[in-house]
Amino acid sequence: MLLALQNAISTLLKSALPSLFSGSAGATATFSGDIWDFDRLSADPIAGEPGPEDAVDELAFDPLAPAGPYSLTRPPHPGPKRVYLRSTRGELVALRSAEVAWNPDDPAAFSVVPGAARDLSGYDRLHVMYGVVAAATRLRSQHTLTLGIAGADAESAEKAFALALAVLVMNREGLVRGASFSWSAGDYQVEGSVKALKFSSGSSPGPALRTLALEVEVDLRVDRMLTEGEGRPMARILAAGEGTGSDAAEPL
């Protein structure tokens, strides 16, 4: 569940320290030992009552052909829909309502009409938030992850590690924002976000290797989208003698 964070760290180090983390002789960053425990208050979650929930879709986006059309993966519940551009680094930029044209005949279909000043370079996904009827609950987990920085020799490893640590500390908030993720398949959806990122310890297991232990808190929301007819309120409960079995309740 930390793949998005690992990718964000790798991308950040290469962009912030290109002279150290590029080329065949450059330093390398690797990850190992992702171990986690669930928070004891969320280890045995109970799904909530069906109701309006936020669904999230990640749709492929081509900046050279931005219009689409696009289609949501689930029927939307009436209400506002929010569409964002997601960059290759995980950054989100909201599109204005005038830049999104929803199909009046199909509430799940839309096109993108970028403003004249909108720069689309570097964006490859659309992040769409909208309402659905679903049953949902949350899990919280505490992770430990090891980042390894290896160099060609002891001096290059020491230099790369020290500067990498500076980059990570100074960009911690951006890493946390860029480490969110969402996936969906069938009627199920999971949306995760990093709530805390701490640097807890380090070591030098070899002359040309330095390690940094990360502590990461992840909030995970899981949803099951309801099928047609599920979760509908009942108009009334029939009195004794009026019906039995499936006739005992009348759905709206």
DSSP-derived letter for residue 167 is H
Q: What pLDDT score does 161 carry?
A: 94
Enter the pTM of the model.
0.61
Looking at residues 169-184, what average pLDDT do you find? 86
106-127: pLDDT as tens digits:
888 999 999 888 888 888 889 9
Q: What pLDDT score does 227 carry?
A: 58
**Residue 33, domain extent:** 3-234
122 — phi, psi (to 5°)?
90, 0
Widest distance between CA atoms in the chain: 86
Looking at residues 170-191, what average pLDDT do you find? 84
pLDDT, averaged across the chain: 82
Looking at residues 91-120, what average pLDDT do you find? 89
Structure token pair of residue 201:
């310890």
Residue 150 lies in a domain: yes
CA–CA distances in Å: residue 116 to residues 99, 119, 212: 10, 9, 45
Residue 246 lies in a domain: no
**Strand stretches in 61-166, DSSP E:** 70-71, 82-87, 92-94, 100-102, 109-112, 123-150
Residue 242 lies in a domain: no
How many Å apart are CA 35 and CA 213, to the nearest integer?
11
Q: Are 124 and 66 in contact (CB under 8 A)?
A: no
Looking at residues 168-190, what average pLDDT do you find? 85
Q: Which residue has the higher pLDDT, 208 or 139?
A: 208
Our CA angle for 16, 17, 22, nearest 5°, is 120
> What is the domain count for the chain?
1
Quick check: helix, strand or coil at residue 12?
helix
